[in-house]
């Protein structure tokens, strides 16, 4: 049996450990923190909040893999009664329907966007400047970027089509928060014989076995001493709130003005808060040089629209800034294939949400984890990424 070492016990590290063990390898996993999960951790206490607004997407290629292993079940969907509380912020007002320009863009689903052009220029030529701006800002939910219009047209358009897919929404909410999924991942890994050691920081790579590095890209750059391990990512202010529930509270608000996003997670999963209370998670991408305080002030304006009178109803609050840990952003002229490669040579493999794998947000981590495990374990059959279509080129 091949021995595989995994460094990092977040979502990517645990998935890689499971996939490698299932392929027949002996696996040991090292996590520097005392608890597993990384950015998939959730808070303890009355309000169970993820580290930022997280969901899985059931229309993605990795959802069946997770379901088969009972990692994400039970999972909740947005109840029909709650779906009517989806809202949009436009010109400083809360509205129930998106503007006509966004609807026109969503109807053009057969369009293929170019990689080499920014989204703003491409969308303006097709839909007009105002529609392009609103459509781009709506993708703050999937990019955590202050100006999604500056990114590759193919990158933004792919995410817009996923988020606005016709039919019942694809987001799925693991009941009990993502910590429930982490617990099941860890249990599955141990069931397969994976040796997990927490509180174990690795500063020097093992040289005798294949190694999967499932850390942030910054941490991987220092560990591997490879300055090329860099990629664009977002910087956003995050606000989590526990509030007493009110009938008129919005479920989701897409911010067409400033690319922010608001979601009441207890709509699909009431277990995340005490009875008659709501858990809210919201984010506002920070401008260049903007302070946390300024970003939170802008975010609170969005929350004002979503939760009237929320300040008097708040019973719990948490603030944070996520910098360089919100997933990959592809600038014009780049696609997922241009990001840091999974296979670093000499038996070292890279896992994370900023590496060369396709997908939306956490799907990049899942794809790279399964691919890295396939390569490290020397598994037979086609590579995990082989089935993905090449990036769209102009």
Identify the pLDDT of residue 129: 98
CATH code where residue 124 lies: 3.90.660.50
Quote the CA–CA distance of 186 and 190 in Å, as a whole number: 6
Q: Which domain holds residue 374?
A: 3-74+176-230+333-387
391 band by pLDDT with thresholds 50, 70 and 90: very low
Same domain, 7 and 67: yes
User: What does 127-158 look like in DSSP terms, one character per residue?
Assistant: H-HHHHHHHHHHTHHHH--S-GGGSBHHHHHH
Same domain, 223 and 258: no
Same domain, 339 and 324: no
Helix axes 129-138, 119-127, angle to 10 degrees: 130
CB 16, CB 369: distance < 8 Å: yes
CATH code where residue 185 lies: 3.50.50.60
Same domain, 38 and 125: no
Same domain, 143 and 265: yes
Q: With a cut of 50, say whether residue 99 has pLDDT above it.
A: yes
Token reading at 274: 């005490």
| C-alpha dihedral, 96 to 104 to 140 to 39, nearest 10° | 90
Same domain, 154 and 262: yes
Identify the pLDDT of residue 382: 74
1 band by pLDDT with thresholds 50, 70 and 90: confident
Q: Which of 312, 328, 344 is the last residue of a domain?
A: 328
Same domain, 225 and 241: no
Q: With a cut of 60, say whether residue 289 has pLDDT above it.
A: yes
Mean pLDDT of 320-326: 94
Quote the CA–CA distance of 304 and 167 in Å, as a whole number: 30
Quote the CA–CA distance of 231 and 303 in Å, as a whole number: 31
Q: pTM of the full predicted structure?
A: 0.95
- Alpha-helical segments (H) within the chain: 11-22, 63-68, 80-83, 100-107, 119-127, 129-138, 140-143, 153-163, 178-191, 217-224, 292-306, 310-313, 362-376
Same domain, 192 and 159: no
- Per-residue pLDDT of 206-227, as tens digits, reads 888 899 999 999 999 999 999 9
Same domain, 58 and 196: yes
Same domain, 238 and 130: yes
Residues 6+ apart with CB under 8 A from 343: 349, 350, 375
Same domain, 121 and 197: no
- Per-residue pLDDT of 10-36, as tens digits, reads 999 999 999 999 999 999 999 999 999
Identify the pLDDT of residue 387: 53
* Domain count across the chain: 2
Same domain, 344 and 254: no
Quote the CA–CA distance of 268 and 173 in Å, as a whole number: 7
């Amino acid at each position: 049996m091949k021995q595989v070492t995994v460094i990092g016990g977040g979502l990517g590290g645990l998935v890689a450990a499971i996939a490698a063990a299932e392929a027949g390898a002996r696996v040991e996993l090292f996590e520097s923190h005392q608890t597993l999960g990384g950015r998939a951790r959730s808070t303890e206490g009355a309000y169970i909040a993820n580290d930022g607004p997280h969901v899985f997407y059931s229309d993605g290629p990795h959802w069946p893999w997770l379901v088969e292993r009972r990692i994400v079940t039970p999972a909740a969907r947005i109840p029909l009664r709650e779906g009517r509380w989806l809202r949009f912020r436009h010109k400083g007002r809360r509205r129930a329907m998106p503007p006509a320009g966004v609807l026109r863009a969503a109807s053009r689903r057969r369009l293929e966007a170019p990689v080499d052009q920014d989204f703003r220029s491409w969308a303006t030529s097709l839909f007009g400047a105002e529609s392009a701006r609103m459509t781009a800002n709506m993708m703050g939910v999937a990019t955590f970027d202050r100006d999604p219009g500056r990114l590759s047209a193919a990158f933004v358009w792919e995410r817009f089509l996923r988020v606005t897919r016709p039919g019942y929404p694809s987001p799925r909410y693991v009941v009990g928060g993502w910590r429930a999924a982490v617990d099941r991942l860890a249990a599955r890994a141990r069931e397969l014989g994976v040796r997990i050691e927490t509180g174990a920081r690795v500063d020097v790579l093992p040289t005798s076995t294949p190694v999967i590095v499932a850390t942030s890209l910054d941490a991987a750059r220092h560990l591997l001493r490879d300055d090329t391990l860099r990629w664009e990512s977002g910087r956003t202010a995050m606000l989590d709130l526990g509030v007493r529930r009110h009938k008129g509270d919005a479920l989701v608000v897409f911010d067409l003005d400033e690319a922010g996003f608001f979601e009441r997670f207890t709509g699909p999963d009431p277990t995340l808060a005490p009875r008659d209370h709501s858990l809210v998670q919201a984010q506002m991408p920070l401008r260049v040089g903007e302070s946390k305080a300024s970003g939170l002030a802008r975010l609170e304006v969005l929350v004002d629209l979503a939760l009237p009178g929320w300040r008097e109803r708040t019973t719990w609050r948490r603030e944070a800034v996520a910098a360089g840990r919100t997933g990959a952003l592809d600038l014009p002229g780049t696609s997922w294939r241009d990001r840091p490669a999974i296979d670093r040579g000499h038996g070292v493999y890279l896992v994370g949400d900023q590496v060369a794998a396709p997908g939306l947000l956490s799907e990049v981590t899942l794809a790279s984890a399964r691919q890295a495990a396939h390569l490290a374990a020397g598994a037979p059959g086609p590579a995990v990424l082989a089935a993905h279509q090449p990036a769209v080129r102009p």
